[in-house]
Amino acid sequence: MSDTHYSKISEMAEDIEAFPVSNKEDLEAFRIAFLGSKNKLKDLFALMGSVAAEHKKAFGQALNGLKKSAEEKFNSLSASLNNQGESLTSGKMDLTRPGYPTTLGSRHPVSLTLNRIIEIFTKIGFTVEENREIEDEWHNFTALNTPEDHPARDMTDTYYLANDFTRMLRSQTSTVQVHVMESQKPPIRIISPGRVYRNETISARSHCQFHQVEGLYIDKNVSLADMKQTLNYYARAMYGPKARTRLRASYFPFTEPSAEMDVYWGLETEEDRRITKGTGWLEILGCGMVDPAVLENCGIDPDVYSGFAWGIGIERQAMLKYKITDIRHFFENDIRFLSQF
């Protein structure tokens, strides 16, 4: 390869390196000059016929390197200009131009309700405890005094793991209470928020997954009056000082006596009648005094300690607080619904 050919390649390399690019117009000029259909490199490629046979390979490699250098510079500058806007150095950006509006998100109504519940109970000395969502039969059923033939243990009610039928998605956050009672000594005053799963038909009132906050208070001389006072405090803090509540006798395997607490929803509309089944009252939680058998299962002496427990469905609280008539709205991710909070 002659010195003349070499000098032309060197000059072209310098031209590529020195070509000034500060905006998209300059970048387009660079592309036309070195990568377009009539680019300057073609003149050098035309010299291939005058190169001696023994130098053709080296000359071709030099030309390909030149083309590659131009392509790399073009790609690099193109990316920089796209990232940084109209100009890198020319100062053509209009700093007085109004910015694009930014849409701010908001918290999900379930999160808002959960945070409020936690705030209410932590003010009176309860601490937050969390644990796993995949549980074994002991923590989900047996330790909680659930009989072997109880319907909740059936596959029609509980989601068991396909590869291990002794483990399941927890159906209640009472499992956290068992873990705490096994690992801590009384007095115990906790709330345990989390997601739970039940094999239920999805409707306006129920869903196969939902969120709970369960509470537990274990100490000496704890009474049913303590439970009622605590839960009335919660209802009035959550729904206002004039909130109307009532306790109805119920049954849960892990509490005795057991009850359900209702808050008055109203009967003003047809939706109100549908949601409350015509009673005007909406159940917000289940509660009761901890069964002595549960305390024994967890290594706590029932002759010394007593306590109460409750479970709150967070979606149900959100429905009551925000007058939402269909629980399915919480899981559909409809921006028209979520943007209201």
Find the CATH number of the domain harbouring 121.
3.30.930.10
pLDDT score at 86: 47
Does residue 156 share a domain with residue 120? Answer: yes
Shared domain check, 7 and 130: no
Domain membership of residue 96 (yes or no) is: no
Q: Clarify whether residues 121 and 236 are in a common domain.
A: yes
Query: Based on the domain organization, do 198 and 280 belong to the same domain?
Result: yes
CA pair distance 329, 202, nearest whole angstrom: 11
Residue 66: the pLDDT is 79
Answer yes or no: is 269 within a domain.
yes
Tell me, yes or no, whether 186 and 70 share the same domain.
no
What is the structure's pLDDT at 2?
A: 56
122 backbone dihedrals φ, ψ, rounded to 5°? -70, -25
Per-residue model confidence (pLDDT) at position 286? 93
The whole-number pLDDT of residue 91 equals 53
161 and 42 in a single domain? The answer is: no
Residues 156 and 302 in one domain: yes
The closest alpha carbon to 218, from 330, 301, 155, belongs to 301
* pLDDT score of 80: 81
Specify if 94 maps to a domain: no
Distance in angstroms between the alpha carbons of the first and the last residue of the chain: 75
Write out the residue range of the structural domain in which residue 79 sits: 3-84
Instruction: Determine whether 241 is exposed, middle or buried from the number of CB atoms within 10 Å of its CB (0-12, 13-18, 19+).
Output: exposed
For residues 225 and 162, the answer to whether their CB atoms sit within 8 Å is no
**Is residue 296 domain-resident?**
yes
Classified as helix, coil or strand, 283 is strand
Q: Is 146 found in the same domain as 197?
A: yes
Whether 199 is covered by a domain: the verdict is: yes
196 and 297 both lie in a single domain: yes
Assess if residue 193 is contained within a domain.
yes
Region at 15 (left for phi over 0; alpha for psi -120 to 50; beta for the rest):
alpha
- Residues with Cβ within 8 Å of 146's Cβ and at least 6 positions away in sequence, in order, are 152, 153, 253, 254
Give pLDDT, residue 54: 75
Predicted pLDDT of residue 272: 80
* 91 in a structural domain: no
Helix (H, G, I), strand (E, B) or coil at 188: strand
The verdict on 54 and 142 lying in the same domain is no
pLDDT of res. 323: 81
Regions of the chain with pLDDT less than 50: 86-90
Which residue is listed with tokens 């999160």? 111
62 and 174 share one domain: no
Pick from 330, 249, 240: nearest CA to 283: 249
**Whether residue 18 sits in one domain with residue 141:** no
Q: Is position 19 within any domain?
A: yes
Single pTM value for the model: 0.65
Residues 177 and 216 sit within 8 Å (Cβ to Cβ): yes
Domain count, the chain: 2
The edge-to-edge listing of strands for the beta sheet with 134-136 is 134-136, 164-169, 160-161
